[in-house]
Every structure is written in structure tokens, then in C-alpha cells.
Amino acid sequence: MSADRGVVVVGASLAGLRGAEALRRGGYAGPLTLVGDEPYQPYDRPPLSKHVLAGELRPDATALPHLVDLDATWRLGQPAVGLDRAARMLRLADGSALPYEKLLIATGARARSWPVTEKTGPLPSGIHTLRSRDDAAALRSALAAGPKRVLIVGAGLIGCEAASCCRDLGLAVTLADPNPTPLARILGSRIGGVIVSCLDTAGVDFRPGTHVDAFEADDAGRVCRARLKQGAAIETDCVIVALGATRDTGWLADAGLMADEGGLTCDVACRALDADGQPAPGIYAAGDVARTPNPLHVGRLAAFEHWGNAVAQAGHAARNMLAAEDDQQEYRHLPAFWSSQFGINIKGVGLADGADTVAVMQGSRASRRFLAVYGREGRTIAAISFDQARWLPAYAERIEAGAAFPPILGATDQSIKDFGVPDFPQPRSR
């Protein structure tokens, strides 16, 4: 590796930090630069939608620990704006350029914002997203001011966690989503329906099948209501837009790589692919931004917004960056996630979307304590637990092994009475 160029990590995130540390642990002693668009050292995102919103943790108390002495140069508050692969130069927003021998792209994702057009005009104030440390700080201040009603648009993980936090703060909450249940896209409506009962118990006004069309402002320019496509309106003075995320790949538009808002496409070794589908020399990717083949779903590319994936993939990419071309190893990772909401710990392994069958193997949906397993074409592909995670590692092993569905029978605490179809919503355009 060139001594004067070295390694540049673009994205001062969980994946960027752990990737840089893995390079040092792997024996790399050359120049190392980390580039971040925010002015902060890498911080942990999961607490933002939980402890920070609740006021239990300051936003600046979410910094990630440094596990290795990096001896690195930090370029924080300077977003990457372009990549010249021929010259091996990374261009930054301040006009400077960084030469690299090898590049690790870990720019993650951005919250999907509410669309603004010439027709809609600028958005009123009081409309928030929740992705970054600054987002969390601004939203915490808004919630602490005691809004009359918080409207959350989108009942995914972030939307549900925010609804749970708002109710814990004693705030009136309306949660609107076009799907029939919360978390329908990752759990299916059959299991997502359990969250409906949680919302009802917590006093959340859940509006399924609801499409928000536009927001209106009062005389001071602050949001005062949301207009629905159905013609009705919801009065609100604080809005949280929780419509998911887009991968941070805009800066790669002219780089000749296979990149769009769905991610940067990589091969099985975490090498970024060029427009012809070939590995781009010296460029690797890890974390939310990396769209890679999934060995559990042959022929499918996926980018995962999971904490564990960011750590594991960054370490694997770093290993391959230091290895010879004939020693590039395949990255294999079982997707996993967790969420804490309405007093329940939800944990999942595998990918449930695309399942054609689901069975509750332990507990019951009525008790809100259960473990459900998903199958597709006779094979086990995912498992989800609601406060019932004891068996989850065993199911994870069966998923990785491609075991038949259902994979575990005859356990003493099983009562398999609940088979059905997951009922995943059909893909839609906004």
C-alpha cells in the first residue's frame, strides 16, 4: 500500500470507526484518515429514539468508545461531495481533496424527509425527522415544550419507538400509517397486529390506512394540522416524519459505481462494484450504505440498518482491504435487530419479508409474550420474539442452516396453535 496515500474512511459512523479500528488491529500502520459530515466524533444512534428523546441521556453522552488507539487524522464536519476513481481522490465540501490508496465507504443513511416541491412550498416549522444527534436534540426540545398533540407519520421501528417515548412523557400522540398495522413491512400484519393492542393500551391514536397529503401552518409559520388524502385533517403542533431512510450515496453520482438511494452495490467480499458490475480497485463499503448479496436469500441484494451488521461488516471489509486479491473472503451475516417499545423487548433474526407462513412457537399473541417463526417454501427464514428471546439463538442456528419449517418441535414450553399467513403489504410508491 502506498505510504503517502494510505487509507481513507469516509463516514465517521459506527461502521467507519469499527472499520478503522479493525485495520489497526489487522496490522495496518500507515496513514489513516476518517471523514465525517457531522462535527461530532462517532456516536451511538439507538439511544437517540429512546433515552435522548425521554430526557434520560444528553445527546453528547452518546459517543462511541474508541477500542483502539487509531493514530488517525479526523476531518469532521466536512461531507464528501465527489470521488475521482481514476486519480484516487476523495473531494470534500470545503474544496479540498484527499488522496487514497484504499477507501472504505461507510456513509450510512439519511432520514427520508418529507418531499418539498415548488407546488408545496417550504415546510412549516415544527416538523422533525429522527436520525442524527442534532435531530434528536431538536426533537427533545420540542417535546419538552409540551406540544398539544404529536403526529407521527410512519409506523416503522422509529415511529413506534417515538410513539412509546411520547406516551411515557404524557403527550397526546397520533400515529398514522398507510398499512393496516405498525411494523407491517418487517413483521407482517399478523404479528404487527400485536403492536396495535400495545398502542391501544398506551393511549396512542393509531390511524391505519391513512395517507398524509400535506401540512398546514398557522400565522406564525408553525405546523397546525395535517391534511389527509381521504379529505380529513389531524390537528397537530409537532410532527415526526418517520418514513424510513435513504442511503447516503448522492456524492457518488459521478463516480461510475453502482449506487443509488438504495445503497452502494458490493460483491460478497464487500468490494464496491463499478457500473459494469466489476470490483472497483481499492474501494470497499460497510454498514447501512453497503448493498450486498445475502446468502440466505439467493439472488437478492440487501442493505441492513442493523447495529451488529455495521460492526461485523466493517471488520470484514477491513480484513479484505489488507488481504491479497486471491484471499478475498465472503461476508456472511445473519441480520438481527432489536427494539424497545411500550415496555416490550422485540428481537428478530433473519429476514421475514417474503415469508409465506408464520407460526407462534412459544407463548401467545394475546399475552404479548411469544416467539414467532417465519417460513418460505418450506424453509425457516426468520424468527421474532416479544419478551420471549430464550429460544432465539437456537432458531438463529436453524435459519443459517436452512432448516425446514418449522425447525424445532417437541419443546416442553411449546404450544403451536397459531399458524397463518404473515400478510405483508404490497410494495407501493409514494
| HEC letters along the chain | CCCCCCEEEECCCHHHHHHHHHHHHCCCCCCEEEEECCCCCCECCHHHHCCCCCCCCCHHHCECCCCCCCCCEEEECCCEEEEECCCCEEEECCCCEEECCEEEECCCEEECCCCCCCCCCCCCECEECCCCHHHHHHHHHHHHCCCCCEEEECCCHHHHHHHHHHHHCCCCEEEECCCCCCCHHHHCHHHHHHHHHHHHHHCCEEECCCCEEEEEECCCCEEEEEEECCCCEEECCEEEECCCEEECCHHHCCCCECEECCEEEECCCCEEEECCCCEEEEEEECHHHEEEEECCEEEEEECCCCHHHHHHHHHHHHHHHHCCHHHCCCCCCCCEEEEEECCEEEEEEECCCCCCEEEEEEEECCCCEEEEEEEECCEEEEEEEECCCCCHHHHHHHHHHCCECCCCCCCCCEEEEEEECCCCCCCCCC
Contact 213, 228 (CB under 8 A): yes
Cell of 113: 424527509
Distance between CA atoms of residues 205 and 213, nearest Å: 18
pLDDT in tens, 267-321: 999 999 999 999 999 999 999 999 999 877 766 888 999 999 999 999 999 999 9
Dihedral sign for Cα 192, 195, 196, 197, please: positive
Confidence of residue 119 (pLDDT cuts 50, 70, 90): confident
Mean pLDDT of the residues in the chain: 93
Confidence of residue 406 (pLDDT cuts 50, 70, 90): confident
pLDDT at site 429: 43
Contact 256, 279 (CB under 8 A): no
Rounded average pLDDT over 5-25: 97
Q: Count of alpha carbons within 13 Å of 147, Cβ hemisphere only?
A: 26
Distance between CA atoms of residues 15 and 315, nearest Å: 8
Which among 11, 20, 8, 10 has a CA at the least distance from the CA of 315? Answer: 20
Phi, psi of 401 (to 5 degrees): -85, -5
Confidence of residue 2 (pLDDT cuts 50, 70, 90): low
Distance between CA atoms of residues 157 and 286, nearest Å: 22
**What angle separates helix 189-202 from helix 157-168, to the nearest 10 degrees?**
20
Beta 32-36 vs 73-76: how paired, if at all?
parallel
The residues, any chain, with a CB within 8 Å of residue 113's CB and separated by 6 or more, are 129, 241
The CA-based diameter of the chain, rounded to the nearest angstrom, is 65
pLDDT at site 417: 66
Report how far apart, in Å, the C-alpha atoms of 114 and of each of 127, 196, 282, 310 are: 9, 25, 36, 26
The residues, any chain, with a CB within 8 Å of residue 344's CB and separated by 6 or more, are 198, 368, 386, 387
How large a percentage of the chain has pLDDT more than 90?
85
Distance between CA atoms of residues 100 and 4, nearest Å: 8
Distance between CA atoms of residues 122 and 115, nearest Å: 10
Rounded average pLDDT over 217-237: 95
pLDDT at site 410: 65
Rounded average pLDDT over 102-118: 93
- For residue 191, is pLDDT > 70? yes
Distance between CA atoms of residues 141 and 369, nearest Å: 34
Instruction: Please report, as a single letter, which amino acid is at residue 55.
Output: G
- For residue 413, is pLDDT > 80? no
